[in-house]
Amino acid sequence: MNRFLSITLFYRPLFLIPFMMVNMMAAQDTLTTVVAKKGDGILSLLRKQGVDPYDHYDDFIAMNVDNLRDSVHLYAGRKYLIPTPGAEVVEVVEELEDTSKKVKKVEGTEYAIFGKKHSLVVNKSNRLNNTVYYLVSGHGGPDPGAMANYGGKMIAEDEYAYDITLRLAKELISHGAMVYIIIRDENDGIRDERVLEIDRDEVAYPNKIIPLNQLNRLKQRVDIVNNLYKEHKGKYQRLIVTHVDSRSIGQNIDVFFYHHEKSKNGRKLSESIHTTFQKKYEKFQPNRVYSGTFEDRSSLYMVKKTHPAMTFIEIGNIRNKKDQRRILDPDNRQALAKWISEGVLLDYEK
């Protein structure tokens, strides 16, 4: 069962100082610097500083973009600016005021499926109120999908597609959406490791065994989505399917988006996320051309048979070394989920 929680955030006492000095101190706080250690990523660095890594991920990148490798990776030994959460600054002119007892309550909901570390979802906005999203990560259960060797260990498509899907679900829920995670693993949750262990215990919503036969697997998830679509008839509903491709080792690909040729809303959803990715690349990787596209792919079973307007996303090539960095790095997986969610918001608010 989900339950609401309250988190109490305490603020430091603010001692008697001129108002101009208060402003100067507040400005300095926003420029706190931290030296990255070997093994640090953006998520772990922010978490160590007590900053929510998901709320301030883009802020961190924007502040440090010239000091990052590939716009998302830290250099060990370098200093990085840390964004400051929105703490209150109290004006004090003539007398001492102790603000240590002031608190701010943040309400959230716990979702066990995201795992113990990531279970709390804080409400960011109501921008997606009255919307329903169905999220399907590729393969799962008896079918791991595309596989590759990384550092002597096997990695599988379904584990990484699922992790990105969970991160996306958390983002959408934080903006008020109702989200159905169709392929689910109650044991995994969001994971911050590079190499995600392979298992076979995924099930289909709500708790159905995933068939061994490929066609039966696809039909099962199509039936689940279409039945839920009927239940929510009249509501704004969308479907997002996430896969990782497998091509030749030397083929480096960008993120691709597919839709049904006759679905105007599916095309708009795909285009909105694609546009968001283009803008992110222009901002964070200005010297790199983004080659991902959005296009009709009505021949795909999930595209052809499902009722909600949908987009089918290919994250990258699991066998290519450059694409593996995009897929394996938890910071990159979070960025992918965040950018997809921003594209979803853009689509809905159009």
230-243 average pLDDT score = 98
Superfamily classification of domain 116-349 = Zn-dependent exopeptidases (3.40.630.40)
pLDDT at 53: 80
Give me the chain's average pLDDT, please: 85
In the chain, domain spans: 116-349
The Cα 125–Cα 219 span in angstroms is 35
| pLDDT at position 249 over 90 | no
Per the structure block, which two tokens stand in for 302? 């999930």
| pLDDT at position 31 over 50 | yes
Q: Between these two residues, 98 and 227, which has the higher pLDDT value?
A: 227
29-33 average pLDDT score = 69
313-319 average pLDDT score = 93
Q: Which of 184-188, 214-218, 249-253 has the least mean pLDDT?
A: 249-253
48-58 average pLDDT score = 81
| pLDDT at position 247 over 90 | no
| pLDDT at position 288 over 90 | no
pLDDT at 70: 63
Q: How confident is the model at residue 86 (pLDDT cuts 50, 70, 90)?
A: low
Torsion of CA 53, 173, 242, 282, to 10 degrees: -50
Q: What would the pLDDT profile of 108-157 be if each residue is shown by its tens digit? A: 899 999 999 999 999 999 999 999 999 999 999 999 999 999 999 999 99
pLDDT at 28: 43
| pLDDT at position 85 over 80 | no
| pLDDT at position 233 over 80 | yes
Predicted model pTM:
0.78
Q: Which of 155-169, 181-195, 210-224, 241-255 has the least mean pLDDT?
A: 241-255
pLDDT at 21: 37
3-state SS track over 155-224: EEHHHHHHHHHHHHHHHHHHCCCEEEECEECCCCCCCCCCCCCCCCCCEECCCEECCCCHHHHHHHHHHH
Q: Between these two residues, 247 and 337, which has the higher pLDDT value?
A: 337
| pLDDT at position 12 over 80 | no
Q: What percent of the chain is modeled with pLDDT above 70?
A: 84
| pLDDT at position 336 over 50 | yes
